[in-house]
Amino acid sequence: MNYCMLMADIVQAPQLRYTSDTQTPVAEFVIQFPGLRSEDASERMKAVGWGNLAQEIQAQYHEGDRILVEGRLRIDSIERPEGFREKQAEMIVRRIHHLSQLGSLQMAAAMTPSDEAAAPSQTVKAPPSPTAPAMTEAEPDYDDIPF
């Protein structure tokens, strides 16, 4: 199954266009997310939304917004003028969530052990488990049936 979730920033405002045959709305925009390691550069990727979602993306999301994007990845192979093929990833958006109002949410910032010690710990008590009734002689034990 091809499913991906990315927290990213919009670096190019969504542009709405329509397909030539069925006039289906399509929103294209560029997102940026940090590399896996701290020394890695940020990566950019094109994201595409279709139909009603495309109209929602164009109306509600703008350059600089922090978003959570859900969808699938697609790899395109592009012929370069230098004579080789380049592969580019593209995300087909299924859902999009606005995260800009969550200013304290940091991308690629893991909690250090000192942060974990300073964070308030919440203990969750498990609900009391009901005691299982004791087996009587009349009930057969199905675990001992040979197959």
Residue 146 pLDDT class (50, 70, 90 cuts): low
The CATH number for 15's domain is: 2.40.50.140
Supply the range of the domain harboring residue 66: 1-75
Distance CA(45)–CA(17), nearest Å, equals: 19
| Residue 34 burial (CB count, 10 A) | 17
- How many structural domains is the chain composed of? 1
Q: pLDDT per residue over 54-68, tens digit each?
A: 999 999 999 988 999
pLDDT score for 69:
92
Residue 89 maps to a domain? no
Residue 141 maps to a domain? no
10 Å CB burial of residue 28 (0-12, 13-18, 19+) is middle
Residue 64 maps to a domain? yes
Torsion of CA 97, 100, 104, 107, to 10 degrees: 70
Residue 138 maps to a domain? no
Residue 123 maps to a domain? no
Lowest mean pLDDT among 20-29, 97-106, 133-142: 133-142
Query: For residues 24 and 103, which has the higher predicted lDDT (pLDDT)?
Result: 24
CB 91 within 8 A of CB 72: yes
Distance CA(43)–CA(50), nearest Å, equals: 23
* DSSP classification of residue 22: T
Residue 144 maps to a domain? no
